[in-house]
């Protein structure tokens, strides 16, 4: 088994302009803050971020919005970050608002190799603009397409050296799904333990889904 643990420089070397990056977390809870530090330091630009929300100006994904490295965000909520709204209004940031359940299903579809999901959410609203509508048993649905990324960055509470991940309580949120929807997955681990120290039944993201492990520099 090759060594999955990487350094700051290793991760920085993966970053480039125009990447699509999925970021785990819910309002900053369960978000890999050190990896975001490294993205900011890299000055990679024109990023597309797929995330549940844009957190706050000084926390989580919101810091990438504030640093103006994001060209687009695909998200379900921006209300806690006024900087997202400002950039959306002035035209410097494209915002694709997706109902939260739909966002989850689009990510899940990518991870499961599905071609999309049919949902009634958004039918008859602005959400349906530009989307295919399909009628099943007399009911109209929107075809929502999978969301994939070049890179997924997630946060794990305890991670063994093989890459098996355990999340603490609500830090789990979107992390397991996002670990399935990108070819490269980097987990920022609060604690790294030896292989065999995690009971198999506690593993929430299994090692084959994790490409690299980065030891968190945050408390």
pLDDT by residue (tens digit) across 110-121? 999 999 999 999
Task: Show the low-confidence residues of the chain (pLDDT under 70).
Answer: 1-2
Helix, strand or coil for residue 73?
strand
| pLDDT value, residue 122 | 93
Tell whether 48 is covered by a domain: yes
Count how many domains the chain has. Answer: 1
What range does the domain containing 90 cover? 8-114+146-215
Tell whether 130 is covered by a domain: no
| pLDDT value, residue 1 | 53
Tell whether 25 is covered by a domain: yes
Tell whether 58 is covered by a domain: yes
Tell whether 211 is covered by a domain: yes
Tell whether 127 is covered by a domain: no
| pLDDT value, residue 218 | 83
Q: How many CB atoms lie within 10 A of CB 153?
A: 31
Burial 162-177 (b: 16+ CB within 10 A, else e): bbbbbbeeebbbbbbb
Q: What is the CATH number of the domain that holds 69?
A: 3.40.1080.10
pTM over 0.85: yes
Tell whether 122 is covered by a domain: no
| pLDDT value, residue 13 | 97
Tell whether 138 is covered by a domain: no
First to last CA, the chain: 29
């Amino acid at each position: 088994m090759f060594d999955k643990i990487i350094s700051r420089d290793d991760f920085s070397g993966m970053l480039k302009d125009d990447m699509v990056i999925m970021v785990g977390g819910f309002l900053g809870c369960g978000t890999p803050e050190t990896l975001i530090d490294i993205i900011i330091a890299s000055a990679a630009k024109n990023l597309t971020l797929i995330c549940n929300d844009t957190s706050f100006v000084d926390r989580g994904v919101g810091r990438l919005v504030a640093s103006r490295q994001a060209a687009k965000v695909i998200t379900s909520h921006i209300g806690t970050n006024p900087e997202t709204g400002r950039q959306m209004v002035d035209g410097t940031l494209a915002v694709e608002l997706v109902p939260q359940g739909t966002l989850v299903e689009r990510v899940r579809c990518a991870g499961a190799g599905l071609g999309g999901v049919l949902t009634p959410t958004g039918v008859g609203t602005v959400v349906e603009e530009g989307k295919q509508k399909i009628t099943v048993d007399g009911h109209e649905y929107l075809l929502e397409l999978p969301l994939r990324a070049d890179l997924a960055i997630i946060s794990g509470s305890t991670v063994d050296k093989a890459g098996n991940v355990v999340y603490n309580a609500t830090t789990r949120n979107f992390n397991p799904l996002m670990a399935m929807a990108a070819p490269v997955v980097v987990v920022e681990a609060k604690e790294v333990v030896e292989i065999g120290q995690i009971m198999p039944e506690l593993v929430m993201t299994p090692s084959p889904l994790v490409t690299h492990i980065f030891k968190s520099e945050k408390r």
